[in-house]
Amino acid sequence: MPDPVPAYAELAVTTNFSFLRGASRPQELVAQAETLGLAAIGVADRNSFAGVVRAYDQWKTRKREDFKFLVGVRLVTTDGFEVLAYPTDRAAYGRLCQLITRGNVKIKKGEKGECRLTFEDILSASEGQMLIALPPDELSPAFTERLAALAHAAPGRSFLAGIHRYRGDEPRRLGRLDELGRQAGAPLVAVNDVHYHVPERRALADVLTCIREKCTIAEAGLRLAANAERHLKKPEEMARLFAKYPDAIARTVEIANACHFSLRELQYEYPDEPVPPDKTPQEHLEDLTWEGAKARYPEGIPNDVEKRIKGELAIIGRLDYARYFLTVHDVVRFARSRPNEILCQGRGSAANSAVCYCLGITEVNPNNSGLLFARFISEKRGEPPDIDVDFEHERREEVIQYIYERYGRHRAAICATVIHYRSRQSIRDVGKALGLTPDVTAALAKTVWGSHDDGLPDAHIREAGLDPSNPTILQAVLLARELLGFPRHLSQHVGGFVLTRGRLDETVPIGHAAMEDRTCIEWDKDDIDTVGLMKVDVLALGMLSCLKRGLDLLETHYGRALSLATIPGDGTEDAKPVYDMLSRADSVGVFQVESRAQMSMLPRLKPRCFYDLVIEVAIVRPGPIQGDMVHPYLRRRDGIDEVHYPSPDPAHGPANELENVLERTLGVPLFQEQAMQIAIDAAKFSPDEADGLRRTMATFRHTGSVGKYREKFIDGMTRRGYARDFVERCFSQIEGFGEYGFPESHAASFALLVYASAWIKCHYPDVFCAAILNSQPMGFYQPAQLVRDARQHGVEVREADVNFSQWDCTLEPASERNRYRFAVRLGFRQIQGLNKEEMEKLTDARGNGFSSIERLAAVSGVSRFTIERLAAADAFRSLGFDRRKALWTARRLDAVGVRRGSALKKSAADDAPLPLLAPHLSDELFPEPEIVLPPMQLSEHVAEDYAATSLSLKEHPIRFFREDLTRLGAIRNAELRNERLPNDATVTVAGLVLVRQHPSTSKGVIFMTIEDETDIANLVIWKKVFQANRRTIMTSRFLAVRGRLQRAGLVVHVVAERFTDLTAELRRLRDGECSAPEIRHLPSQGELPLIKSRDFH
């Protein structure tokens, strides 16, 4: 009879959240520990709890009930003392969080580095912790002393770790440690200092060491571990290694049993603030909801709405979510109640509920969109509701500061975003560690240009001119693939706030965020979901700023006071022109539907009502595209195909089981919710499994389980009689949703903004133009295109001028003949290199206008640099100076003694007397010989306009080349729309390159947009053509393209065949005159910016 195997718990586990140290994911470690039959696993990362939630999440799926999971941390002091700490209860856990928070605060702003702890810090937080000191390589008296101090501070709870390191001296070392521990009162505990779950990860661990130490593997030498022993080992193996110290093995389990803390204890610590003292949260929420309902339906709440609200409130009550809704409401109420209202809009699973509509969290009327609240909140899964709120992007900070103020910095912080290794970075770092030259790693990294994380297939490697069978390259590729998805560092989430009832720093360690006045926790939003903390997403949206500005301008200039909720929508006579405009793809600047892909979809979808916009927003996404759902939907919409619903074999279920799910989208799944519902209804996933599937696709949390889900999904549906093709497309669609999951609830919220922005653009293009220019940078187009679009719609646009412009673009009464009442005056913000404060000084000092440059300089006190910038932008026209004369005058200001440059020092500028001569400054007083400046040609002006303001109202640059282009056989872009040009005709077009795109869904196809003086032209470049013309396509700014015209309805493309790079010609704009033949031109450096293309790789 063999001895029974003693139980063993591994208490020293480092995961890959100890960045560049651990070589396995928390999930892998926990799963492996369970498989090996360990009694417990304690996860303890370096001064961090960042990985424990993932481990906990994995542990929750355990099969062995008696398998324990311990939350711990490996505390490392700045002078190298290391101790594992396991809290025995909630309070002790809170102390550890506070300890780490304190250490994080000590990191000075701007410097990278780890949490700073001292030994004394650790002692002060030792209450309630099980502490296992990790001995250094060389035992020293200093260590002995500290061990004793630790044991004195935490008597009975202090231990000394014994690690069997296979270094040849184990019996002696363990003997010494055993004795040392006994003397100090910290008995020996067996640990294996695990850094990876299986020995095969040693190579990756070595690579991580190299990345951390910034050396190559050949240089790393003794910094690497000598062997692969730092993996999880079976209890019997550990018992064998510690055969002489059975107590050290037994103690592991004793320690595990002494720790009672679980992350479950952190759940639902929702704040109480928004609830008045005499009410329960549910009562308060109900009161607010009915109050809001009355305001929404002044003529009485319709019956079905009332029923709906009651149903939702009942669910919220049962799940105890009232405080969550109240907190979101509180934030939204703050934004609304600002003296100058901050525009906001909620979205997310719970946002499109009648309750949220009544609370004013969203303006989407759920009755119009047909969204069902119950679909979004699963009662079975205790997952908290999710509402994201978008705010005007420039004013979000006010909301954030309000949250900090209301809940206190000790209870509110931003959650983390885990930055993962993606394929490029992964191969780059691994390649560097293996000593590949930067050229080779760059070539390898480039093989994934534009594509997502599908690893590095051999074909790509060969394409890069490298040999995939070269051992080092092969090794690099394999290791890079292993590294894929590993966390690299924590960053700050864009706006996810976590709020707690008690102190947040007792719930999770807080660190300083990169930005001032921000604090950031160690967990990301999935972690927060898992633990069940309260999270509110406070996001920034440029379009909301634009809409706010638009609505404000509308009120001041046209006297129409409107809000998002009151913009005339479906059913009003305003609506038809808006939908007409969108159906023409006349959507430059309109939220979400202005991209090229959306623009080619609009004429095909021809939206006629709000729900069409919901679909429009959702359909041009990787999900529906990869699932090949777009065409079937359009064909059904156009009545070409009949609507039918996929159904199972009658033996397995009712034929209409999906009708409910797919009704609104003509039987074709388009939204993420639909795909998930199919998984539940047709593939018979449990709601939990469906959620697991979604999360698998969305993140790297459950790598490796995709295959499992895929099999279950495809088997589940095909076995029930669904057509295999449909099933596979459904799964591809789910894969497509991946990280860019786009649920219907989001689409509905966005669709509202699509309509609002389209309405302003359609009915008030002057307002829209000013509003969107003042909200830059945002969206897809640059000011030049936005201005051009406005002018094409008959809006008068005027140049920035020192006597008329404000910082922002403004509206001025239009000249008589104009269609719209107002003209847009460009603001100083369009001029590059100006400072807002300084320009406000200038406009404040302007009075009735400046009479001269000298006067302007003296009175406003702006710097010469600024005056030269204004001259470069040709903003002195009202003084009778063109840019050249203005610059000539400005350069002399110093010499004639005009003081300036103090604009930013308010007091100095106010107190300083004006120079006596200032009013009389003119050339007569300081006579100088006249210099005739060379006259400037229009083309030069245009080039300079572009250089200073990225646009020109004088002329389009391409106009100057028109004759040459005609000689080349090029037609104007606008002519492409000419119906007489037959489909498939060979055409030549030319223009400035605006956009280059290489979308991941395009299979190597490049899209390019060029612009001439008449219109833009859209080019499609097949992979082969791209490869043959790579240089021209990637580098030119001005080109001519020959290709075939492709027209489908209103959508026109040119499929490019041949390219001519004309970039060098652009120089002629600025040089004006011809250059002499005997002059050699040096290659220009960064000359002539004109339009800088936007490249999306």
Partner 1 sequence: MVDPKRPFVLSVEASGGPRIAALNEAAEAEGLAKQDLVADARAKAGVLQVRDIDPAADDTALKRLALWATRYTPLVSPWGEANGADGFFLDITGAAHLFGGEESLLADLADRLHGFGLPARLAIADTAGAAWALSQFHSSSTVVLPSGQEAEALARLPVEALRLSFDTRTTLRRLGFKRVGTLIDKSRAPFAARFEKELLLRLDQALGRAPEPLVFIKTPPIYHSARYLLEPIFTADAVVAFTTRLMRSLVHALVRDGVGARSLRLSLYRVDGVVETIDLGLTLPTRSPTHVARLIGLKLERLAGAVDAGFGFETLDLAVTVAEPMEAEQTELVAANDDSFSPEQCAALVDRLQQRLGRDSVQRLAPVESHLPERAEMLEAVVGDAAVWPAPDTNRLRPPILLPRAEEVKEVMAVVPDGPPARFRWRGTLHDVAHAQGPERIANEWWRDRGAKPTRDYYLVEDKAGHRFWLYREGLQGSEIRSPRWFLHGLFA
Subset of residues 123 to 142 that bind partner 1, contact rule: CB under 8 A? 137
Q: Is 222 in the site for partner 1 (CB under 8 A)?
A: yes
Selected from 277, 471, 880, 913, the binder of partner 1 by CB under 8 A is 471
| Residue whose structure tokens are 């998805």 | 485
For the bound state, the minimum distance from the C-beta of residue 286 to partner 1, rounded and expressed in Å, comes to 55
For the bound state, the minimum distance from the C-beta of residue 1085 to partner 1, rounded and expressed in Å, comes to 5
CB atoms within 10 A of CB 217: 19
Non-local CB neighbours of 345 within 8 Å, separated by 6+ positions: 362, 363, 389, 390, 541, 544, 564, 749, 752, 753
Contact 634/641 with Cβ under 8 angstroms?
A: no
In angstroms, what CA-CA distances link 1008 with 635, 710, 950, 1056? Answer: 27, 36, 20, 10
Q: Is 703 in the site for partner 1 (CB under 8 A)?
A: no
Tell me how many degrees the CA angle 852-853-855 measures, rounded to the nearest 5: 65
For the bound state, the minimum distance from the C-beta of residue 184 to partner 1, rounded and expressed in Å, comes to 22
If the CB atoms of residues 556 and 1084 are measured against partner 1, the closer one turns out to be: 1084
Q: Is 447 in the site for partner 1 (CB under 8 A)?
A: no
Subset of residues 971 to 1000 that bind partner 1, contact rule: CB under 8 A? none
Selected from 449, 638, 920, 974, the binder of partner 1 by CB under 8 A is 449
Q: Is 443 in the site for partner 1 (CB under 8 A)?
A: yes
Subset of residues 894 to 913 that bind partner 1, contact rule: CB under 8 A? 895-896
The span of 97-105, 128-136, 219-227, 614-622 binding partner 1 (CB under 8 A) equals 219-227
Map residue 824 onto helix, strand or coil: strand
Non-local CB neighbours of 636 within 8 Å, separated by 6+ positions: 642, 643, 666, 667, 668
Q: Is 1074 in the site for partner 1 (CB under 8 A)?
A: no
User: What tokens appear for 210 in the block?
Assistant: 């190299």
Selected from 224, 319, 778, 968, the binder of partner 1 by CB under 8 A is 224
Q: Cα separation of 133 and 152, whole Å?
A: 13
Q: Cα separation of 16 and 117, whole Å?
A: 21
Subset of residues 147 to 166 that bind partner 1, contact rule: CB under 8 A? 166
If the CB atoms of residues 77 and 1029 are measured against partner 1, the closer one turns out to be: 1029
Given CA atoms 18, 19, 25, 27 in this order, what sign does their dihedral have? positive
Q: Cα separation of 1045 and 1029, whole Å?
A: 19
When computed from its CA atoms, the radius of gyration of the chain, rounded to whole angstroms, is 34
If the CB atoms of residues 7 and 442 are measured against partner 1, the closer one turns out to be: 442
For the bound state, the minimum distance from the C-beta of residue 900 to partner 1, rounded and expressed in Å, comes to 15
If the CB atoms of residues 523 and 1007 are measured against partner 1, the closer one turns out to be: 1007
- 3-state SS, 883-934, equals HHHHHHHHCCCCCCCCCCCCCCCHHHHHHCCCCCCHHHCCCCCCCCCCCCCC
Q: Cα separation of 674 and 747, whole Å?
A: 13
CB atoms within 10 A of CB 1049: 10
Q: Is 1088 in the site for partner 1 (CB under 8 A)?
A: no
Selected from 323, 549, 884, 972, the binder of partner 1 by CB under 8 A is 884
Angle formed by the axes of helices 864-872 and 853-860, nearest 10°:
140
Q: Is 167 in the site for partner 1 (CB under 8 A)?
A: yes
Tell which residue, 690, 674, 678, has the closest CA to residue 722. Answer: 678
Q: Is 260 in the site for partner 1 (CB under 8 A)?
A: no
Kindly write out the interface string for residues 739-768 of this chain, putting x where it contacts partner 1 by CB under 8 A and - elsewhere: ------------------------------
CB atoms within 10 A of CB 67: 18
Residue length of the chain? 1097
For the bound state, the minimum distance from the C-beta of residue 203 to partner 1, rounded and expressed in Å, comes to 5
Kindly write out the interface string for residues 504-543 of this chain, putting x where it contacts partner 1 by CB under 8 A and - elsewhere: ----------------------------------------
Q: Is 193 in the site for partner 1 (CB under 8 A)?
A: no
The span of 119-127, 221-229, 532-540, 960-968 binding partner 1 (CB under 8 A) equals 221-229
Q: Is 891 in the site for partner 1 (CB under 8 A)?
A: yes
For the bound state, the minimum distance from the C-beta of residue 196 to partner 1, rounded and expressed in Å, comes to 13
The span of 59-67, 268-276, 441-449, 619-627 binding partner 1 (CB under 8 A) equals 441-449
If the CB atoms of residues 637 and 884 are measured against partner 1, the closer one turns out to be: 884
For the bound state, the minimum distance from the C-beta of residue 16 to partner 1, rounded and expressed in Å, comes to 19
Q: Is 475 in the site for partner 1 (CB under 8 A)?
A: yes
408: left (phi over 0), alpha (psi -120 to 50) or beta: left
Subset of residues 297 to 316 that bind partner 1, contact rule: CB under 8 A? none
Per DSSP, what are the bridge partners of residue 541? 392
For the bound state, the minimum distance from the C-beta of residue 839 to partner 1, rounded and expressed in Å, comes to 21
The span of 118-126, 199-207, 489-497, 757-765 binding partner 1 (CB under 8 A) equals 199-207
Per DSSP, what are the bridge partners of residue 1019? 1008, 1054
Please give the order of strands across the beta sheet that includes 534-541.
344-347, 388-392, 534-541, 487-499, 412-420, 519-524, 510-512
Label residue 459 exposed, middle or buried (CB < 10 Å: 0-12, 13-18, 19+).
exposed
User: Where in 357-455 does DSSP place strands (E)?
Assistant: 388-392, 412-420
Q: Is 880 in the site for partner 1 (CB under 8 A)?
A: no
User: What tokens appear for 932 in the block?
Assistant: 């005739």
Q: Is 714 in the site for partner 1 (CB under 8 A)?
A: no
Kindly write out the interface string for residues 44-63 of this chain, putting x where it contacts partner 1 by CB under 8 A and - elsewhere: --------------------
For the bound state, the minimum distance from the C-beta of residue 32 to partner 1, rounded and expressed in Å, comes to 15
For the bound state, the minimum distance from the C-beta of residue 477 to partner 1, rounded and expressed in Å, comes to 14
Kindly write out the interface string for residues 821-860 of this chain, putting x where it contacts partner 1 by CB under 8 A and - elsewhere: ----------------------------------------
What type of residue is 418?
V
If the CB atoms of residues 936 and 985 are measured against partner 1, the closer one turns out to be: 936
Subset of residues 1016 to 1045 that bind partner 1, contact rule: CB under 8 A? 1030-1032, 1034-1036
Selected from 4, 110, 221, 339, the binder of partner 1 by CB under 8 A is 221
Tell me how many degrees the CA angle 770-771-772 measures, rounded to the nearest 5: 95
Selected from 265, 1084, 1089, 1096, the binder of partner 1 by CB under 8 A is 1084
For the bound state, the minimum distance from the C-beta of residue 536 to partner 1, rounded and expressed in Å, comes to 35
| Residue whose structure tokens are 């204004």 | 870
Q: Is 442 in the site for partner 1 (CB under 8 A)?
A: yes
Selected from 323, 883, 900, 941, the binder of partner 1 by CB under 8 A is 883
If the CB atoms of residues 478 and 1051 are measured against partner 1, the closer one turns out to be: 478
Q: Is 1080 in the site for partner 1 (CB under 8 A)?
A: yes
Contact 331/402 with Cβ under 8 angstroms?
A: yes
Kindly write out the interface string for residues 10-39 of this chain, putting x where it contacts partner 1 by CB under 8 A and - elsewhere: ------------------------------
Per DSSP, what are the bridge partners of residue 823? 812
Q: What is the DSSP letter of 194?
A: B
If the CB atoms of residues 20 and 676 are measured against partner 1, the closer one turns out to be: 20
Q: Cα separation of 276 and 891, whole Å?
A: 65
Selected from 268, 334, 645, 888, the binder of partner 1 by CB under 8 A is 888
Q: Cα separation of 643 and 633, whole Å?
A: 9
Q: Is 935 in the site for partner 1 (CB under 8 A)?
A: yes
The span of 508-516, 650-658, 839-847, 1069-1077 binding partner 1 (CB under 8 A) equals 1069-1077
